[in-house]
Amino acid sequence: MRSTEFISVLFFVQIFGILRDCVEDTEAVMAEGKKKHIGILGARVVGKTLALGFANKGYPVTIGNRDSIALKESWEGAKHPNIACESYFKTAEQAQLLVLAVPGRVAAAPLTECEIVHLNAKIIIDATNPISEHGPDKGVLRLFTEFNSSLMEQFQRRFPGARWVKAFNSVGSAYMVDPPFDTRPTMFICGNDPRAKAEVSKLLDEFGWDAEDMGPASSARAIEPLCMLWCLPGFLENKWNHAFKLLKHESK
């Protein structure tokens, strides 16, 4: 084997070892019953809602945006003892699990600021939607993705070392945490990593949701457009107080 080939093989072996150790360390934290450090990428309504949701359930939370000082001074939630405000980079560096909660059309920028080394092997809950900058057409949102592609698949290709799980994209922020319906609503999720989806499902259960695994990352092509359906009653009748529920008939 030539020296250049040996160095390349050694590099990939080292990277694989780092990724394996990160996953094992994360699972050890869960096994001990400790609360993971949650990083929220984005400080708009969804990001703040989920940050407070995790913090109120005892999780240490870092919420990241471009101006963390202004966020800390202007947002009442920053006073929560479990919440810290940092840059995107610091948030990704410190967190054990990340939530991407920015508009889909600008989501690549904070991910790039985080740097790949701080995304690899970490679960990233993708709460984004590929909503176009153009307004809805008769209440129907416009998406910038094609029918046979999804935004999360783009993220998965660009950051393949991360463990992507789609969630929180098909309901309004007011109902993301402990939704007050008569029955538990359904959160449709997908992703390529079964263990990551199992962990996110446990978090969703803690948040008052029944998780429904729709399969690999390609299933985001079906899950992302659910935001269009969820928003229709809102745009047409100003009704935003609903969520989806998957009903099942158990055959005898």
- CATH for 35-237 is 3.40.50.720
Section 10-38 average pLDDT: 58
Per-domain residue ranges for the chain? 35-237
pLDDT digits (tens, 9 = 90+) for 83-94: 999 999 999 999
The two tokens of residue 175 are 């109902």
Q: What is the mean pLDDT of the chain?
A: 91
pLDDT digits (tens, 9 = 90+) for 93-131: 999 999 999 999 999 999 999 999 999 999 999 999 999
State the number of CA atoms in the 13 A half-sphere of 250 facing the CB: 1
pLDDT digits (tens, 9 = 90+) for 38-69: 999 999 999 999 999 999 999 999 999 999 99
pLDDT at residue 25 is higher than 70? no
pLDDT digits (tens, 9 = 90+) for 159-168: 999 999 999 9
% residues pLDDT > 90 (the chain): 85
